[in-house]
Amino acid sequence: MPIKLPSFRPRKDAYPPDLWTRCPGCQEMLFNKQLDKADRVCPSCSHHFRLSAAARIEAIFDPGSFVERDPGLQSVDALGFVDQKAYPDRLAAAQVATGMRDAAIRGVGAIEGIWVSGCVMDFAFMGGSMGAVVGEKVARAAEDAVNERMPLLIVSASGGARMQEGTLALMQLAKTVAAIERLRAAGLPYISLMTDPTTGGVFASYAVLGDINLAEPNALIGFAGARVNAGTIAQELPPGFQRAEFLFDHGFVDRVIHRSEVRGEIAALLRFLVPAPGPRGADDGGIPVFRPMSFLSSLADRMIGEPDPMPVTSDPGRSDPGRSDPSGRRDTTEEDRRG
């Protein structure tokens, strides 16, 4: 939920609100109040305008059910980054403009009575860029889903990693993907909804890792921009490149859904994707849970490339030094079975 900043008057009072918005799809002038009522979808051409995180939460979750978690997480300026503006100044300006502390809100809430752990991004906050806070919120949303055995829902809207946080932002790709992997191993569903735009590091990490990847109509979804892509392959790009429908046609997106149907669609999917019963792990013969230490040691086994004098795995194929597990699953080690 938006935070209150006591030292600033809300923007609404300071400026008279714009009454009209021109639709980029059909050029029609739309009355803002009516546009808000229609969840910011153009009534004549169905153009989907960007939605704030707060409005998105209201549109998806049961009324009053969403409880925000970690509202106080805030980015630090670890690098002392300055471009045209110092990073802390940029953050402060974005906080005043949006009433949010960073580009994502996370918490738990019900969708048609089914409780989920959710994280919703907001493009209005520094282009929805993913710094340490967004990465942490996504990871914690996945961890809460594992601990409380709930499905995970992430709504992405992002231009990519936050350059002002440099490597710290890039590290969020690995962190979020590891958290999603633990979720998968625990047998819990993850639904990803990609909205306009879902690009860069967010596309390259958690946004496309859903058990079901949904997208809103005409959303820009991709890694690098169209011009970079066209330049790299020195070819003209096909029409509709990097749009939701194009990705659907090529199997990257499972479904393109009109905003008015998003809530019902997610609820229907959640009724199919029921969390696996009870905590599962290597101990009870289920899918091995993610264990960083055993993961690293099995990785080290492969790197050394020599037969183990004392095989530590139950897999007979492991005596072959060059063999790596084609399924990508980690081997079950002694440590797993003890733990």
CA nearest neighbour of 34 among 26, 25, 44? 44
For residue 13, the SS3 value is helix
For residues 23 and 269, which CB has a smaller minimum distance to Zn ion in the complex?
23
Sign of the alpha-carbon dihedral angle for 57, 119, 209, 239: positive
Please report which helix (H) or strand (E) contains residue 120, including its range: strand 114-121
Minimal distance in Å, beta carbon 51 to Zn ion?
16
Going by C-beta distance under 8 Å and a sequence separation of 6 or more, which residues neighbour residue 134?
Answer: 102, 103, 104, 121, 158, 162, 172
Minimal distance in Å, beta carbon 43 to Zn ion?
8
* 45 lies in the site for Zn ion, by CB under 5 A: yes
Minimal distance in Å, beta carbon 30 to Zn ion?
7
* 279 lies in the site for Zn ion, by CB under 5 A: no
* 26 lies in the site for Zn ion, by CB under 5 A: yes
Q: What radius of gyration, in Å, describes the C-alpha atoms of the chain? A: 22
For residues 26 and 230, which CB has a smaller minimum distance to Zn ion in the complex?
26
For residues 40 and 106, which CB has a smaller minimum distance to Zn ion in the complex?
40
For residues 26 and 268, which CB has a smaller minimum distance to Zn ion in the complex?
26
Q: Which stretch binds Zn ion (CB under 5 A): 43-51, 54-62, 83-91, 217-225?
A: 43-51
Q: Which stretch binds Zn ion (CB under 5 A): 41-49, 214-222, 265-273, 325-333?
A: 41-49
* 23 lies in the site for Zn ion, by CB under 5 A: yes
CA nearest neighbour of 254 among 239, 231, 272? 272
For residues 45 and 274, which CB has a smaller minimum distance to Zn ion in the complex?
45
Angle, alpha carbons 179-155-289 (nearest 5°): 20
Of the candidate residues 39, 41, 42, 90, the single one contacting Zn ion (CB under 5 A): 42
For residues 25 and 88, which CB has a smaller minimum distance to Zn ion in the complex?
25
- Cα-Cα-Cα-Cα torsion 237, 239, 244, 246, nearest 10 degrees, comes to -80
Helix orientation angle between 53-60 and 259-272, rounded to the nearest 10 degrees: 60
For residues 46 and 229, which CB has a smaller minimum distance to Zn ion in the complex?
46
Minimal distance in Å, beta carbon 44 to Zn ion?
5
Q: Measure the CA–CA gap between 172 and 281, rounded to whole angstroms.
A: 25
Q: Which stretch binds Zn ion (CB under 5 A): 36-44, 61-69, 140-148, 242-250?
A: 36-44
For residues 45 and 82, which CB has a smaller minimum distance to Zn ion in the complex?
45
Q: Measure the CA–CA gap between 116 and 87, rounded to whole angstroms.
A: 33
**# residues contacting Zn ion (CB under 5 A):** 7
Write out the DSSP string of 222-245. ESS-HHHHHHHHTSPPPTTTTBHH
Tokens found for residue 314: 């139950």
Q: Give the footprint of Zn ion on residues 304-333 (CB under 5 A).
A: none
Minimal distance in Å, beta carbon 205 to Zn ion?
32
- DSSP single-letter state for residue 118: E
* 47 lies in the site for Zn ion, by CB under 5 A: yes
Tokens found for residue 176: 């979020």
Q: How many CA atoms lie within 13 A of 299 on its CB side?
A: 7
For residue 322, the SS3 value is coil
Minimal distance in Å, beta carbon 148 to Zn ion?
41
Q: Give the footprint of Zn ion on residues 194-253 (CB under 5 A).
A: none
* 25 lies in the site for Zn ion, by CB under 5 A: yes
Minimal distance in Å, beta carbon 225 to Zn ion?
24
Residues that bind Zn ion (CB under 5 A): 23, 25-26, 42, 44-45, 47
